[in-house]
């Protein structure tokens, strides 16, 4: 087998990718992480990690910064380039980016997932001007304003509660007549007099001039109304960052990467961990556990 600059390339510098790289670096293997966006993944949007991770910083951004620092000290190379493709030739894997091709003996896909967009008129136009998906970071900008949160899962309920700390009123718009999210969140929503729930409805357009001024709400009975608001926050689930992966790599119906019990994908030499993986349970501790498990198996295989 020809030489490659890296033994393992980890795609993604979120919590799972950074943990895997750190575990792999405790060996003689040459490790790189590749990330096209800011390191940390979705966790950087979290102001207060809940439940707290023992002995670790309180905010997601601090946790990510600490992990990056530890990886640099352990000799992990961090490459800041968006990955556009992953290819395999003669047992060597080529991670293709905008700037070149990085060759390796093994790949860990830890590219995570992103919040889904509503895909309605106005959403892209008002991004950063009233359309946001980060209640923790942007909430303080909506002091005494009215905002709309879309969704009925844990994220929508949790983020509506965050926004209620700042906003005069939070309109939670959900397409069904009951929440999907946990009962303890639902109870807090019910008990919060700043939050009102609009059942059986969706936002189908976001309107304004310079900034968002209102949203068009479509009810399942056909009624349509415009509701004044300064912000729209959609929390309607996640989708995997998996577009760059080979088309023959097995995925589930949602596009998440299928793995076996050893976190190996359908293509030998490619592992997958964290939020991009089908069956990932969703917490930071799950991400870290998967990363450590995959790293142990890869170390054994490449040693």
CB of 1 to ligand NAP, least distance (A): 40
Strand duo 100-109 + 92-97: pairing: antiparallel
- Residue 109: closest CA among 4, 8, 1: 8
Kindly tell me which of 20 and 238 has the beta carbon lying closer to ligand NAP.
238
- Residue 234: closest CA among 96, 141, 136, 123: 123
Q: Give the span between the Cα atoms of 121 and 118, in whole angstroms.
A: 9
Kindly tell me which of 91 and 254 has the beta carbon lying closer to ligand NAP.
254
Q: Give the span between the Cα atoms of 46 and 40, in whole angstroms.
A: 11
What is the enclosing helix (H) or strand (E) of 156?
helix 154-164
Residues at the interface with ligand NAP (CB under 6 A): 150-156, 158, 175-176, 180, 202, 235-238, 282
Q: Give the span between the Cα atoms of 129 and 212, in whole angstroms.
A: 6
CB of 150 to ligand NAP, least distance (A): 5
CB of 247 to ligand NAP, least distance (A): 25
Name the token pair of 62: 């601090």
Comparing every residue's Cβ against ligand NAP, the nearest one is: 153
**CA distances for 42 relative to 61, 240, 282, angstroms:** 10, 12, 12
Q: Give the span between the Cα atoms of 13 and 40, in whole angstroms.
A: 6
Q: Give the span between the Cα atoms of 235 and 156, in whole angstroms.
A: 5
Q: Give the span between the Cα atoms of 100 and 290, in whole angstroms.
A: 29
CB of 71 to ligand NAP, least distance (A): 26
CB of 238 to ligand NAP, least distance (A): 6
Kindly tell me which of 158 and 265 has the beta carbon lying closer to ligand NAP.
158
CB of 29 to ligand NAP, least distance (A): 32
Q: Are 231 and 142 in contact (CB under 8 A)?
A: yes
Kindly tell me which of 126 and 235 has the beta carbon lying closer to ligand NAP.
235
Please state, as a whole number, how many other Cβ atoms lie within 10 Å of the Cβ of residue 26. 12
Kindly tell me which of 86 and 236 has the beta carbon lying closer to ligand NAP.
236
Sign of the C-alpha dihedral computed for residues 221, 224, 229 and 231 taken in this order: positive
Kindly tell me which of 165 and 168 has the beta carbon lying closer to ligand NAP.
165
Q: 3: Cβ–Cβ under 8 A, 6 or more apart, which residues?
A: none
CB of 110 to ligand NAP, least distance (A): 17
Kindly tell me which of 180 and 299 has the beta carbon lying closer to ligand NAP.
180
CB of 244 to ligand NAP, least distance (A): 22
């Amino acid at each position: 087998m020809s030489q490659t600059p890296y033994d393992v390339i980890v795609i993604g510098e979120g919590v799972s990718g950074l943990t895997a790289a750190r575990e792999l670096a405790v060996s003689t293997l040459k490790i790189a992480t590749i990330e096209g966006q800011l390191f940390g993944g979705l966790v950087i949007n979290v102001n207060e990690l809940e439940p707290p991770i023992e002995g670790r910083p309180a905010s997601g951004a601090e946790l990510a910064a600490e992990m990056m620092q530890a990886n640099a000290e352990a000799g992990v190379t961090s490459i800041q380039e968006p990955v556009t493709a992953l290819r395999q030739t003669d047992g060597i894997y080529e991670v293709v980016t905008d700037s070149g091709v990085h060759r390796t003996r093994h790949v860990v896909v830890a590219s995570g997932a992103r919040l889904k967009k509503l895909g309605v008129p106005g959403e892209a136009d008002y991004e950063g001007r009233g359309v946001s998906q980060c209640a923790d970071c942007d909430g303080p900008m909506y002091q005494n304003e009215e905002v709309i949160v879309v969704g009925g899962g844990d994220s929508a309920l949790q983020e509506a509660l965050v926004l209620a700390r700042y906003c005069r009123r939070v309109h939670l718009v959900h397409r069904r007549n009951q929440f999907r999210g946990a009962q303890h969140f639902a109870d807090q929503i019910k008990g919060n007099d700043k939050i009102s729930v609009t059942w059986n409805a969706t936002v189908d357009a976001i309107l304004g001039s310079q900034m968002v001024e209102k949203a068009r709400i479509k009810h399942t009975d056909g009624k349509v109304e415009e509701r004044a608001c300064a912000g729209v926050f959609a929390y309607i689930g996640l989708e995997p960052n998996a577009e760059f992966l080979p088309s023959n790599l097995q995925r589930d119906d949602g596009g998440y990467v299928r793995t076996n019990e050893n976190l190996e994908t359908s293509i030998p030499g490619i592992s997958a961990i964290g939020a991009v993986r089908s069956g990932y349970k969703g917490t930071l501790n799950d991400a870290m556990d998967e990363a450590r498990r995959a790293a142990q198996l890869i170390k054994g295989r490449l040693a």
